[in-house]
Amino acid sequence: MSIVVTGATGHLGRFVIEGLLEKVPADQITAVVRSEEKAAGFAARGVKIAVADYNTPETFDGLFSAGDKALLISGNEFDKGRVGQHKVVLDAAKAAGVALFAYTSAPGTLTAALADDHKGTEAAIVESGVPYVLLRNGWYNENYTEQLAPVLEHGAVVQAAGEGKVASAARADYAAAAVAVLTGEGHENKTYELSGDTAWSFAEYAAEVAKQSGKEIVYNPVSVEVFTGILTGAGLPEPLAAILAGVDASIEQGQLAVTSGDLSRLTGRPTTPIAESIAAALKA
């Protein structure tokens, strides 16, 4: 039996592999990657490496075995039909007879276009008949703290979220939840709404960055249209900019402020406060 993780060298995947290495022998972990080179560190520690690509279905032939547990970390190629990509992995896992198929999805409350691919993938998973776990990951602290350079440069947090709040957590928290599900028992056919313990507003976020950096930082709320323009001006493709701005509209409506407690229950610890992630980002 192997625990198979796709996207294993991505931001979230690396945390998942590290977490698994603390719980199970390395030779029971298979890291699915597109670049063997990027996975060299894991290979040196005894993790099995499988090179496969969502866009090349045959690369998944024989990758899974009966009784495996699989974690499909959702792809980030928004322009390549993610539901189809995800079904490549699902079909291979089903054909092999995996014992559990976990998927990193989006919050059930989210109506933004970003959620469409996740809903399509969830439907395919449920219809497939494989024992599944839906890990509906909320927003990551790092979605914001990794973008601190322009905030510090311009002295402003600019979003199109009004007074909406975000119940975010650190990537490491979501990874720990995935590890708990993959190494634990009794999670078959469950859906977990994962989010941080505390929701915060962008005004509070700006104030925390100001406090920790010693700089004057204000929150500058703008319209969805203006925010889309800012993102495209920063080099993002227009379709992706529109998707991200759409998430802000959902935040304003309270769709990412839900604090279910599922994440801290699965990990057995409180989620990482946004202030802690800000501190880590400023040190880096």
What would the pLDDT profile of 48-95 be if each residue is shown by its tens digit?
Answer: 999 999 999 999 999 999 999 999 999 877 666 889 999 999 999 999
pLDDT value at position 78? 67
Identify the CA nearest to 172 among candidates 264, 237, 76, 249. Answer: 264
Residue 142 tokens read as 């790092």
Residue 24 three-state SS: coil
Rounded CA separation 195/13 (Å):
18
Residues in the chain: 284
Contacts of 144 (CB under 8 A, 6+ apart): 168, 205, 274
pLDDT value at position 91? 97
Identify the CA nearest to 228 among candidates 160, 164, 161. Answer: 160
Taking CB atoms within 8 Å and a gap of at least 24, the contacts of 229-235 are 230/158
Residue 256 three-state SS: coil
Give the pairing type, strands 100-105 and 69-72. parallel
pLDDT value at position 62? 94
pLDDT value at position 75? 85
3-state secondary structure 65-121: CCCCEEEECCCCCCCCCHHHHHHHHHHHHHHHCCCEEEEEECCCCCCCCHHHHHHHH
* pTM listed for this prediction: 0.96
pLDDT value at position 25? 98
Rounded CA separation 137/181 (Å):
13
Phi, psi of 75 (to 5 degrees): -70, 165
Which segments of the chain have a pLDDT < 70? 78-80
Rounded CA separation 196/198 (Å):
6
pLDDT value at position 132? 98
CA geometry: angle 262, 265, 270, nearest 5 deg: 100
Centre a 10 Å sphere on the Cβ of residue 242 and count the other Cβ atoms it contains: 18
Residue 190 tokens read as 């469950």
pLDDT value at position 97? 98
pLDDT value at position 1? 86
Q: Which residue has the tokens 């969805």?
A: 224
Residue 37 three-state SS: helix
Rounded CA separation 82/79 (Å):
8
